[in-house]
C-alpha cells in the first residue's frame, strides 16, 4: 500500500530534550515536506526536500532541522524543543513539481513539549 | 505571491442540505488549486484538484468545485450533506511557474470546519 509513515504518533517531552520524528514513504517520491498544524493557522511548511541531499527552509524553520540521506526518509529533528513547538506535525510527499501533484500525507504526530 | 482565504472558519449544515465552503485565492501565474479534507485524528486526503483543464472539477464523495478566474474563487460544493462529511477542509493554491521550476510553493488556507447536524 502506498503510504507515508510517521513515528511516533504521540509524544510528550520536556523542554530541551532532543527528539526526532521519522517520516518514510514507499512511492519513490522526489519531494518531501514537513508541516505543522496549529488552530486557526492551517498548515505551515517547516522544511522541504526536492531530492536526496537537497533541503530548504519553509515558512517556519526556526528550531527544526531535517536531513535527506535516502530518498524514502525525511526525519524532522528538534534539537532543543520548547513549549511553542507543541503542535500537530505532518509529513507529506509527492512527485515533482509539488504544486501540480497530489500530496500524500502521513497520519500526523502530536507533540507536546512541557 | 500566492495566498488563500477561506471565508468561513466554521460552517454548520443539516444532513441532506447543500454544502458550500468558500475559497478565494491570489496568484501571480497559472494556479493549481486543491481541496483536501481532514477527518478527526486523521491525515489529510485529497478531495479534488484543478490544473487548468475543465473549470468544473469533480472529486470524491460527491464534492465538486468550480474555478472562476474572474472572481479568483474555487468554492467547494456538495448537493446533499452526509454525517460522514463532518471534517476540516483546506483550500490549497500553488503557482505553476513554467518550465525549469521543479518546485512550486504550496500554500494552505486556514481551514473550514464543517459540522453536519442530524
pLDDT (mean) for A43-72: 94
Res. A43: pLDDT tops 60: yes
Is there a contact between B109 and A42 if contact means CB atoms under 8 Å apart?
Answer: yes
The β-bridge relationship of strands A10-13 and A109-113 is parallel
Does residue B42 sit at the A interface (CB-CB below 8 Å)?
Answer: yes
Tell me the shortest Cα–Cα distance from B104 to chain A, in angstroms: 5
- pLDDT score at A99: 77
Q: Sorting pLDDT into bands at 50, 70 and 90, what band is A12?
A: very high
- pLDDT score at A96: 82
Q: For A22-33, what is each residue's pLDDT tens digit? A: 999 999 999 999
pLDDT (mean) for A66-89: 97
Nearest CA among B87, B97, B70, B99 for reference residue B1:
B97
- A50 contact partners, CB below 8 Å, separation of at least 6: A30, A31, A56, A96, B102, B103
Res. A35: pLDDT tops 60: yes
Q: Classify A57 in phi/psi space as left (phi over 0), alpha (psi -120 to 50) or beta.
A: beta
Cα–Cα distance for residue pair B20/B74, rounded to 1 Å: 11
Does residue B32 sit at the A interface (CB-CB below 8 Å)?
Answer: yes
Q: Which residues of chain B have pLDDT under 50?
A: 98-100
Q: Sorting pLDDT into bands at 50, 70 and 90, what band is A52?
A: very high
Amino acid at each position: 500500500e502506498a503510504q507515508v509513515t510517521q513515528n511516533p504518533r504521540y509524544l510528550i517531552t520536556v523542554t530541551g530534550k532532543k527528539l526526532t520524528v521519522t517520516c518514510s514513504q514507499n512511492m519513490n517520491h522526489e519531494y518531501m515536506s514537513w508541516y505543522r498544524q496549529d488552530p486557526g493557522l492551517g498548515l505551515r511548511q517547516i522544511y522541504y526536500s526536492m531530492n536526496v541531499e537537497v533541503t530548504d527552509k519553509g515558512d517556519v524553520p526556526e528550531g527544526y532541522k531535517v536531513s535527506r540521506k535516502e530518498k524514502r526518509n525525511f526525519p524532522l529533528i528538534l534539537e532543543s524543543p520548547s513549549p511553542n513547538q507543541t503542535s500537530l506535525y505532518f509529513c507529506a510527499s509527492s512527485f515533482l513539481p509539488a504544486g501540480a501533484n497530489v500530496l500524500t500525507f502521513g497520519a500526523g504526530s502530536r507533540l507536546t513539549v512541557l | 505571491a500566492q495566498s488563500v482565504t477561506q471565508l468561513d472558519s466554521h460552517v454548520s449544515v443539516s444532513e441532506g442540505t447543500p454544502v458550500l465552503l468558500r475559497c478565494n485565492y491570489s496568484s501571480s501565474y497559472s494556479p493549481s488549486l486543491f481541496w483536501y479534507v481532514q477527518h478527526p485524528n486523521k491525515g489529510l486526503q485529497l478531495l479534488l484538484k484543478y490544473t487548468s483543464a475543465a473549470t468544473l472539477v469533480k472529486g470524491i464523495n460527491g464534492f465538486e468545485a468550480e474555478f472562476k478566474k474572474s472572481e479568483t474563487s474555487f468554492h467547494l460544493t456538495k448537493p446533499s450533506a452526509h454525517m460522514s462529511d463532518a471534517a476540516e477542509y483546506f483550500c490549497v493554491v500553488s503557482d505553476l511557474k513554467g518550465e525549469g521550476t521543479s518546485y512550486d510553493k504550496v500554500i494552505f488556507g486556514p481551514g473550514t470546519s464543517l459540522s453536519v447536524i442530524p
